[in-house]
Amino acid sequence: MFYNVENFFDNENDSLTFDDEFLPDGDRHWTNYKYKKKLNNIYKVIVAVGGWEPPEIVGLCEVENKYVLEDLVNKTPLAKYEYKIIHKESRDQRGIDVALLYLKNKFKILQTRFITIKQWNIPLNTRDILFVKGVTSTNDTLNVFVNHWISRYSGIIESSKKRNFIASVLRQYVDSIFALDMHANIIIMGDFNDEPLDESVLRTLDTKTDLSEIIPGNLYNLSYVFRNDKKIGSIKYKGTWFMFDQFIVSASLLQRENQLYLESADIHLFSPDFLLEEDNTYYGFKPYRTYDGYRYKGGFSDHLPVYIDLRRTRKIIDQISN
């Protein structure tokens, strides 16, 4: 599962970041009540996505710090699942980071790395890419990347250069994994602030959208399927839906002979009624977010979550059952 939780801030001042809006006396009057409601809203989404079982791995972005994550996994009903946290403060000026939650009895961590984005050896003031390597309950190794690329706020053309650069950094790390094992299981998730057919994702990261021919060493964008319907996406801006939140996987995870695999229909855009509200300006619906401008609404996020269902071969299911 991946979810951009939109401004998941506590209400304590951090002198190193621009979090003044999210303080009790700040512009958004971010009180303890509003913070706790945000906690419970995020918990509700994670549980709803999981259905009968909680998601084994949850990628998040727009997280202020580890404190809010600890509150999420320990001070909401998520506590019974005993999620563990992977997080590190990044250089992002707003103070928002990426993070990973995982079930320790389902995913054993082998390696973690926070990839700082450096251009000409100078770190950019943006989010790290989080890399996590672990072993699943089926004894399969997964290489997971969690992303939150630079937004379009400064303009599409100017910011696209930076997203292309971030994509090139990510591709280098992917290639280093493929150099050791062309059949490695790789999952790339995140808010890319670009769509599946934009240059950064399609060409620089070099992803494929045609799942009819699976070739080892390729990356396949599962989220492309949602762009066939312009009436839905993971975020809506001025009446137009965009599919910024995506799952991209390596070829091995699309091969049925693999112990752990998925099919094109195993990616989902989670859009239940409680995450949506009427769009009175552009018609239809839009994500039910926490704020509309500076007006508090008490909703969830301006993004919808995406998730994938990984399948196990019958042989593995029988082994687990026995």
Q: What is the CATH number of the domain that holds 190?
A: 3.60.10.10
Q: Of 92-106, 187-201, 305-319, where does mean pLDDT reach its minimum?
A: 305-319
Tell which residue, 152, 153, 149, has the closest CA to residue 170. Answer: 149
Which of the four pLDDT bands, split at 50, 70 and 90, describes residue 99? very high
Which single residue is written with the structure tokens 């809506």? Answer: 236
This prediction has a pTM of 0.95
- By three-state DSSP, how is residue 314 classified? helix
Q: Is a pLDDT exceeding 70 seen at residue 182?
A: yes
pLDDT over 80 (residue 228): no
pLDDT over 70 (residue 321): no
Task: List pLDDT tens digits, range 50-98.
Answer: 887 899 999 999 999 999 999 999 999 999 999 999 999 998 888 899 9
Domain count, the chain: 1
Instruction: Find the domain containing 223 and state its range.
Output: 2-321
Q: What is the pLDDT of residues 202-212, one digit of tens each?
A: 999 999 999 98
| Sign, CA torsion 61/64/66/68 | negative
Of the ranges 91-95, 213-217, 231-235, 243-247, the best mean pLDDT one: 243-247
pLDDT in tens, 12-54: 988 667 788 999 999 999 999 999 999 999 999 999 998 878 9
Q: How far is CA 110 from the centre of its chain?
A: 20
Tokens of 10: 């506590």
